[in-house]
């Protein structure tokens, strides 16, 4: 299908290109034109959309999430992180079946779509369920291994890597573990063997809490990042989620291996973990992405909220209102996340890139008057401002309507039944 979206403000996220008034054309799954002065004569389109002066920009990429954890949304919200994991989450997850993961993730995927998120980096179990759902919904998903001492093993991770990197255009797979504190050294070394065998990047939760870091130092005399570096897990790049308590030496390791840090401010605040030092990461030249973390620890899947928190928290901890400006934070949530996820053809609105596009309503009261559009995106906008979500040229959400064949009420009912089963 050939689609023309005209009369739009356009934020391409291309380097040194300012927001401009113009239009964007999509031919099939890819962008065929972005600019201000097109030659319309002789062009034929299957669909033309008047953006009415609203904003067209790349879709948000949720660079760290656990989609199926909708089962824990608003379920246990007043526990410390370690207690929350060990007494509630892990016991419930032990009962989860592939069908549970498939159904519960549907709710998250629908939330992503209405919130302007066009891809997710999903660290969870039962990859076959996530792959099936991604294909059915036409939603771009990067699957991340979540091996630990009590679920999955290196052999299953290798099988998943080989299978899901060749299964469907919307699906890719990255090596990963849950975390150092849930994964024995013997497993870590086997994962390092896989990283070196395939020369592939590696991802993990890292330094999310002070206790995690101190416990790792007691076990190995090293921080988690230092341990992973010694074993060779980062030799081919990758990234890590959270990074709240990274040391200066840890940051040197990240820089030397060209690793990304994916920050998750809402989850870290809710679990009282702390605030990642984003300004230090940027000064070090480390790529930063943004994720929501799972819906059990957030409890929403809202990249507008995450952008707001990234910016305002950095201003607070640095005691400087000028740091972490909106244009930088928008890049984290789109281009930075895409780089972290390996989605190199989905990072900007450029000719030949994937047509993963969203439209933002600029005419609602919360956006007016628009004195600075990028400031408005970070400090004023929310999911209600999302007018359209397009993935690979296919419109999934438009002006309040989810354009996916799904019985929403039946889905919600089945999800409630699953929570009862897990509890």
pLDDT number for residue 79: 80
pLDDT number for residue 80: 82
pLDDT number for residue 152: 86
Alpha-carbon Rg for the chain in angstroms: 21
Hey, what are 349's tokens?
């609105």
Q: How many residues does the chain have?
A: 423
Write b or e for each residue in 149-162: b if 16 or more Cβ atoms lie within 10 A of its Cβ, otherwise e. eebbebeebbebbe
pLDDT number for residue 157: 94
**What is the tens place of the pLDDT at every residue in 125-162?**
899 999 999 999 999 999 999 999 988 889 999 999 99
**What is the tens place of the pLDDT at every residue in 166-178?**
889 999 999 999 9
Q: Which domains does the chain have, with CATH numbers?
A: 2-58+353-402 (2.30.40.10), 60-341 (3.20.20.140)
The candidate with the shortest Cα–Cα distance to 194, out of 236, 257, 163, 222, is 236
Integer Cα distance of 248 and 272 in angstroms? 22
pLDDT number for residue 37: 84
pLDDT number for residue 77: 84
Report DSSP state, residue 345.
T
Report DSSP state, residue 147.
B
Ramachandran area for residue 55 (φ above 0: left; ψ -120 to 50: alpha; else beta): beta
pLDDT number for residue 256: 98
The candidate with the shortest Cα–Cα distance to 144, out of 164, 165, 122, is 122
Residue that has been written with the tokens 């870091």 in this structure: 213
pLDDT number for residue 75: 87
Write the DSSP string, 44-103.
Answer: --SEEEE-TT-EEEEPEEEEEE-GGGGGGTTTS-SS-HHHIIIIIIHHHHTT--HHHHHH
pLDDT number for residue 40: 83
pLDDT number for residue 237: 98
pLDDT number for residue 151: 85
**Mean pLDDT for each 10-residue chunk of the chain (423 residues)?**
97 96 98 92 92 98 97 86 86 92 97 98 94 97 95 92 93 97 97 98 98 98 98 98 98 98 97 96 98 94 98 98 98 98 97 98 97 98 98 98 96 96 91
pLDDT number for residue 35: 96
Task: Report which secondary-structure segment, H or E, holds 121.
Answer: strand 117-123
Instruction: Read off φ and ψ for residue 322, nearest 5 degrees.
Output: -90, -10
Integer Cα distance of 232 and 236 in angstroms? 9
Report DSSP state, residue 371.
S
Integer Cα distance of 367 and 346 in angstroms? 27
Is-contact 152 183, C-beta < 8 A?
Answer: no
User: pTM, whole model, 2 decimals?
Assistant: 0.96
């Amino acid at each position: 299908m050939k689609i023309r979206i005209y009369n739009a403000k356009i934020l391409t996220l291309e380097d040194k290109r300012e927001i401009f008034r113009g239009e964007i054309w999509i031919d099939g799954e890819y962008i065929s034109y972005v600019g201000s002065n097109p030659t319309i004569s002789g062009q034929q389109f299957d669909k033309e959309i008047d953006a009415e002066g609203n904003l067209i920009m790349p879709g948000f990429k949720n660079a760290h999430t656990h989609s199926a954890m909708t089962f824990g949304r608003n379920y246990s919200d007043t526990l410390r992180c370690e207690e929350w994991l060990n007494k509630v989450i892990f016991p419930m997850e032990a009962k989860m079946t592939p069908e549970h993961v498939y159904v519960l993730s549907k709710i998250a995927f629908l939330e992503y779509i209405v919130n302007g998120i066009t891809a997710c980096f999903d660290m969870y179990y039962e990859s076959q369920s996530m792959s099936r759902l991604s294909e059915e919904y036409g939603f771009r998903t990067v699957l991340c291994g979540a091996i630990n001492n009590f679920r999955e093993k290196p052999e299953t991770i290798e099988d998943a890597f080989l299978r899901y990197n060749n299964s469907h255009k919307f699906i890719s797979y990255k090596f990963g573990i849950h975390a150092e504190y849930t994964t024995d050294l013997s497993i870590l070394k086997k994962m390092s063997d896989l990283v070196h065998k395939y020369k592939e990047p590696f991802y993990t939760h890292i330094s999310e809490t002070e206790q995690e870091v101190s416990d790792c130092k007691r076990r190995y005399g090293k921080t988690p990042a230092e341990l992973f570096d010694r074993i060779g897990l980062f030799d081919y790049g990758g990234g890590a989620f959270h990074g709240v308590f990274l040391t200066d030496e840890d940051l040197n390791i990240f820089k030397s291996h060209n690793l990304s840090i994916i920050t998750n401010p809402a989850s870290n605040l809710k679990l009282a973990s702390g605030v990642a030092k984003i300004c230090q990461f940027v000064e070090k030249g480390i790529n930063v992405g943004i994720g929501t973390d799972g819906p059990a620890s957030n409890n929403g899947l809202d990249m507008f909220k995450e952008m707001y928190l990234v910016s305002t928290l950095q201003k607070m901890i640095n005691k400087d209102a000028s740091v972490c400006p909106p244009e930088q934070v928008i890049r984290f949530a789109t281009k930075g996340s895409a780089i972290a996820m390996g989605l190199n053809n989905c990072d900007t609105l450029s000719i030949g890139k994937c047509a993963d596009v969203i439209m933002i309503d600029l005419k609602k009261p919360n956006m007016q008057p628009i004195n600075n559009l990028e400031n408005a995106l970070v400090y004023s906008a929310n999911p209600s401002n999302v007018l359209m979500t397009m993935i690979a040229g296919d419109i999934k959400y438009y002006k309040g309507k989810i354009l996916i064949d799904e019985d929403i009420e039946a889905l919600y009912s089945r999800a409630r039944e699953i929570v009862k089963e897990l509890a």
